[in-house]
Chain A
C-alpha cells in the first residue's frame, strides 16, 4: 500500500484510437481550436487533480495491497480522460489531395492519412474511403493500373463501397496505361469528368461522394510521352452527414450490433455491410455426431491481411462441427482491421508485438501463438493450427474427428495435416483416402501438446536465427523419423497470393490447381490401416495388387497410364539411396506437381492418382518396397536438365515455403 504507484506507464496502443479521434475533432474546429486546446490543458489539470483525489479514496476503499507485487501489477489509475463535453458537432472536413510523379499525399483536417514518396513503389491510383459522418478512414488501397488487371480489382473494390461514402483518388507516377474503359466508366459514374480522358503520365486528384456530389477534381496533362504532368494539389471541403444517415437500419440484435460497429469502421467487405440484404455473420453449420475435436483449441495465425482473414473465418465458421469458443485468432502486430474482423464474428483475438524480421518474425509469432493456445486451454491434448490465407473444407472437423485418435495413440506420428502437397486436380481423387508421409505439410494441421511442450517449445529457433518455423519442424532433429497423416484430397485450400514467400506466379504454378474437398460428411476409409504396422501391410497389399506399367514408355506422357478407371498401377524409378531424388524431381516436374523439394514420400514410395487410377511410384533400390519390382523391369532414370536451363525453370522463390 505504501509503495503503491499510481501511474504505471500507459501503453500507447490501447489509447491510440480515442486519442486520435480527439485530436482529430479538436483540429476540425479551426476557430475554436486554440480555445479548445487551452480548455483541454485545463481539463487535463482538473483530471489529474480529480484522479489524485480518487487515488487517495482508493487507498481507503480498495483492499490493502500486497507490498511488493501490487505496485507493479495494478490497474492504470492515472489515465488521461477523454473530454466529457464533445467539441461541437463538426460539419465540414478540409481535404487536401496531392498527385505527382514521385509523391502522393492526402490530408484530412490537417492530419496526413496517406503519404507515399517511396521510390519505385506505390505506382498507380491510390483510393481512400472516408466515413461520411465521422470522417474516419475506412479503407486505403492502391491499384497499380499501369499493370494489367489491376483496374478490374479497382472496379471490384469500388463496387463494394457503400453508397454515401467519401472517395478520394490520387495518381502516383502513372495510372492510365492499363486503365480500361470499364474502369473509366465507373470513375465517370462517380462524377469524374476527367477520368474518361486520363492518359499517359497525367496527374489527377478527385474527391466525391459515392452516388452523390463531387467535391473537387484536378488534372494536369502530360505534355509529352517522356515527361509527367505537373503536380496537382486539390484543396476542398467535404460536408459531413449525421451518423444516423451514414448507418443502415438493421434490426437491433446482438449480431447486428457487431455488424454495425464493423461497418462504421471499415470498407471493402461487400455484402456484409449491405443495408438491404446483409450476408450472415453467424453460420450455425450442422453439429457433428460424436465430435472428437469439439474441445480442441483452434489457433488462427494471422498478419495484416484482413480481407484474407475475413474469407478464412467465414469458411472456418461454416465447417460442420466447428466450436467458435475454441477459436483464437493471433494477430502479428497491433493492426486494427484484422481485430475488427475477429470481433465481427464474435471471436477472441490476441495481438502480438512483432519480434524480429521476415521469416523469424513469423516463426516467433507461431511460437507465441502456440504457447498461448496451450496456456489458455490447459486441458487440451492437441491444437489445430490454421493460417489466415486458407479456406477450410466443410468436413475439416469431421476429417479430424475420425483421425485424431491415431495421433493420440500412435507415437510414430508427427502430425495430422489437412493438406496434401501432391493433391492437385489431376492427381487426387478419393476423399475417403488417407496417407502416411514423411514430410510435414502444414497448411491446416494438428499439433500434439506433448510434442510442443516437451520437444519443440524449449528449443524453438530464437529470433536471431531467421529460420522458417516449418522448415525447422521438417528437419530430422525435430521430426525424428515420425510421419504425418494427410488426406488424398486436401481439406484446406491455400488462396493467399500476397505473402512473405508468395507471389502471383508462384501461386498460379503451385497452388491454384490444388484439389479441395467440398463434399460434406465424408466417411474416411479404413482409418486403422494408417497405424504404423498396419500401414505396411496395406502398402504390401496394394503393391501386390498393382499392375506394373510399361517402363519402355515415357512416364511424362499421358499414354504412360492406360485409359482405365479405378485400377492400381506401379512404376519404378531410380533412387540410389535414401536422399537421391533426382528422378523423382524430374517426374514431379513433368507431372506438374510439387517439385521444389521432396514432399509426400513414405519410405521411397509416392502415392497419387493419374486418370482416376491409383498410381504408385517406388524408388529402386533405396525403398524397402523395391523387392516388388519384377526382375525384368529396369527402373526409369530421368536426367536433370543442364544447370543453366535449370536455373531458368525454377522460380525465384526456390526456397520453397508455403506460409
Chain B
C-alpha cells in the first residue's frame, strides 16, 4: 500500500536524523486502541497483513517535541532526495506574544511531507509555562499552495491545542516500529477537547494604556497570593478529577487584562454540578484551605468558599445546566434570599493563566458580558454581587427550616 510505504519512508527519514516523533493520528490510534493488549504482548511478531497503516485516509499525523530537535536544514534536503515534497507552516511564537514589543522569531508549527498520494502531517508541540504542551493553529500564508493537501481534513490545526506531556510507548505494528501515547484512548479523549485560547495580549496592553496597572506593594502581594491560591486549587481539583474553569472576576481578569485584577480580593472558579464530588471539601481542608462558608445544596444553588492565606478567599460556584441556558446561585446569609445568575450555554477551552493551564468558557465574551454587562471593559472598584451583575435574578427565599443546611458559615 502506498500509505504504508510513505509512512515507512517517513520514519526512515526521521530516524536517520535522530528526530523522535510519535504517532497521534486519531484514526490509527483508534484502531490500535482496540488491539492494544495484543500489540503490547507481542511486540516483535511479524505481521502478515497491513492492518493499521493501510486504513483508508489521506494522511498520517505525527507529533514532534520542539525541544528534542535542532531546526536543521539537512532534514529537508534528505526529504527532497527521497522524493518528498514538503511544506512548513510558521507563525508568531505565542510564548512571547504576551510581552511588550518583542519580535524576532517565528516558529515552525506544522510540517507536511507529501509523497505520491499520501501525506504526513507533523505537528510541532511546544512546552509552555504551566507544564503542558501546545500546538499552534494551521493558517496558510498567501503565497502557499492551497491545494498541497486537503487542509480542511487535517485533524490538527483548526484550532491551537493544549495537552498534557504524554508518556510514550514503543510498539510494532504492520512491521513498523513507532512510538505512541501510552494510553491511546485517553489521548483521543484529551484530543476531543484540547482547543486552546490564547490570552488577548494586544487588548490587554490597550487596556493598561487606558487604565495603568496597579503596581503598589499591596497589589503585588495580592497577585502573588491569588496566583499561589489558584495553583493550589487547581492541584486539588485536578487530583480529584473535577473539571473547573475561571469564573467571575478571575475570568474577567484573564479576558480583559491577562492578569489577576488586584482589587478583586478573591479567586473565583466554576464547576458543573454534575462534576460535584463530596470529597471536595475534605480535599481542600487537607490542602490547608478550611471551608469558610457553604451556601445552598447540591440540588440547588450550591456555592463553597474556602479561606486562603491572609484573607484571600477561594469561591467555587456550581453551575446548573438547563436546555437553553446555564445558571449558578447566590445566597444572602443574613436574609436567606436567593439569587440566580444566568449565562448563555458555553463549552470549555484551555488557556494559560499565571503559569497554569486552566479552562475558561470558549465563548468568553458572552460569558463576561452576561456577568458584567456591555461595560465590562471599564474597571469598577465597588461591586455588589446582589445587584451589580447584569445577569442577576431574584430567586425567592430559602425556607427557614432549611437554613441550617443551606447557610453554613464557619
Could you list which residues of chain A lie within 8 angstroms of chain B, going by C-beta atoms?
Answer: 11, 13-14, 51, 54-55, 57-58, 61-63, 66, 68-69, 72-75, 77, 79, 254, 325, 331, 334, 339, 348-353, 355, 368, 371-372, 374-376, 378-379, 453-454, 458-459, 462
Contacts and interface: CB of A to CB of B under 8 A. Distances in A.
Contacts of A61: 140, 146-147, 151
B289 interface: no
Contacts of B74: 254
A148 B98 CA distance: 49
B365 A68 contact: yes
A378 B130 contact: yes
Interface in B85-119: 91, 93, 95-96, 98-105
Interface stretch (B217-225, B243-251, B401-409): B217-225
B140 to A, nearest CB: 6
B152 A459 contact: no
A458 B104 contact: no
Nearest to A460: B215
B385 to A, nearest CB: 27
Contacts of B340: none
Given A62-B151, A376-B96, A462-B215, A69 B103 contact: no
9 contacts: A62-B146, A63-B152, A75-B142, A349-B105, A351-B102, A351-B104, A352-B103, A378-B128, A459-B215
Contacts of A376: 93, 95-96
B100 A63 contact: no
B62 interface: no
Contacts of B73: 254
Contact of A54 (B98, B142, B147, B198): B142
Contacts of A74: 139
Contacts of A51: 142
Given A63-B138, A77-B142, A374-B129, A352 B355 contact: no
B202 interface: yes
B140 A351 contact: no
A339 B103 CA distance: 12
Contacts of B105: 348-350
Nearest to B138: A63
A475 to B, nearest CB: 14
Given A61-B151, A66-B159, A355 B100 contact: yes
A63 B128 CA distance: 25
A79 to B, nearest CB: 7
Contacts of B217: 459
A350 B198 contact: no
Given A63-B137, A378-B355, A459-B220, 6 more contacts: A75-B141, A77-B142, A350-B96, A350-B102, A458-B220, A459-B217
Contacts of A77: 142
A353 B101 contact: yes
A51 B215 CA distance: 45
A462 B128 CA distance: 26
B51 interface: no
| A-B pairs with lowest CB-CB distance, top 10 | A353-B101, A350-B104, A378-B129, A61-B146, A375-B95, A458-B220, A351-B104, A459-B220, A63-B158, A75-B141
A361 to B, nearest CB: 12
Interface of B: 70, 72-74, 91, 93, 95-96, 98-105, 127-131, 137-142, 146-147, 151-152, 157-159, 197-198, 200, 202, 215, 217, 220, 223-224, 355, 365
A68 B369 CA distance: 14
Contacts of B93: 376
A376 B223 CA distance: 22
Given A374-B129, A376-B96, A348 B198 contact: no
B220 A57 contact: no
Contacts of A325: 70
B227 to A, nearest CB: 9
A371 B99 contact: yes
Given A61-B146, A75-B141, A368 B100 contact: yes
- Most chain A CB within a 10 A radius of its CB, from B104, B137, B138, B152: B104
Given A372-B96, A376-B95, A453-B355, A350 B129 contact: no
Contacts of B96: 350, 372, 375-376
Contacts of B99: 368, 371-372, 375
A63 B151 contact: yes
A348 B159 CA distance: 27
Nearest to A352: B102
B223 A458 contact: yes
Given A62-B140, A355-B100, A72 B202 contact: yes
Contact of A458 (B159, B224, B355): B224
A57 B159 CA distance: 20
A655 to B, nearest CB: 25
Contacts of A350: 96, 102-105
A57 B145 CA distance: 11
A62 B139 contact: yes
A69 B127 contact: no
Given A58-B142, A61-B140, A458-B224, A372 B151 contact: no
A243 B250 CA distance: 60
Contacts of A63: 137-139, 151-152, 157-158
A64 B157 CA distance: 11
A68 B95 CA distance: 21
